[in-house]
Amino acid sequence: GQNIDQPTEMTATEGAIVQINCTYQTSGFNGLFWYQQHAGEAPTFLSYNVLDGLEEKGRFSSFLSRSKGYSYLLLKELQMKDSASYLCAVSPISGAGSYQLTFGKGTKLSVIP
Amino acid sequence: EADIYQTPRYLVIGTGKKITLECSQTMGHDKMYWYQQDPGMELHLIHYSYGVNSTEKGDLSSESTVSRIRTEHFPLTLESARPSHTSQYLCASSDGGRETQYFGPGTRLLVL
């Protein structure tokens, strides 16, 4: 099975940098996704990591350490519109049921002026 | 950006009614999914499909049923709606390769 842990809530100031951590325990692992979900809306895809290291995409970066079962999402130059929930999701190893994602409970980020 | 659509966006209905939530995607994705999500809570997978005529139940037990007669269409049906079915229902589909899931806008269901 899969177990995903991420902080429930975080608060950060506009213009600052925030790091949202995600740890996972899984019987098989293929890759890790990060999604953004604004209140009342559907999740939107942010990033995907399959190899160890940092993937940068504009103001957002995502890091993965497979050996440690750890990932983080880094948001730079925070804007008010970044206030949302950030979902960590694990993709299991290839095989039966390999296309199902297991989602964490999400981290609700509040950006304050 | 993904082209995946859900109708209706909002639905208020009385107990005992039969309802069908529609989901369509124009990307030719083989795999499609239904999630249930209560406000501020996590996503729960209730159904998924790997292709035409393939449907499976997800991790969360649900009284709903699904069908997959066409690649682009994955409707979800509740035979007899109850207040406990009040929730947001999200449809998703995934591409080949890394299987990124793209979500529709969701249907907010309120059963009175």
Higher-confidence position of B4 and A98: B4
Q: What is the pLDDT of residue A108?
A: 97
Q: How does pLDDT run across A64-90, given as a tens digit for each residue? A: 999 999 999 999 999 999 999 999 999
Residue of B nearest to A2 (CA): B59
What mean pLDDT value characterizes chain A?
91
Distance CA A54, CA A41 (A): 28
Dist. CA B13–CA B83, nearest whole Å: 9
By C-alpha distance, the chain A residue nearest B44 is A103
The answer to whether the CB atoms of B98 and A42 lie below 8 A apart is no
Residue-level pLDDT, tens digit, chain B, 112 residues:
569 999 999 999 999 999 999 999 999 999 999 999 998 888 999 999 999 999 999 878 788 999 999 999 999 999 999 999 999 999 999 987 778 899 999 999 999 9
Whether the pLDDT of residue A23 is over 70: the answer is: yes
Residue A52, min C-alpha distance to chain B (Å):
16
Give the model's pLDDT for residue B39.
86
State both tokens at B94. 């995934």
Residue A94: predicted pLDDT: 57
Contact A99 B45 (CB under 8 A): no
Q: Which has the higher per-residue pLDDT, A96 or B3? A: B3
Chain Cα centroid distance, residue A7: 11
Q: How many Cβ atoms from other residues are within 10 Å of residue A40's Cβ?
A: 9
Closest CA relative to residue B81, chosen from B21, B19, B6: B19
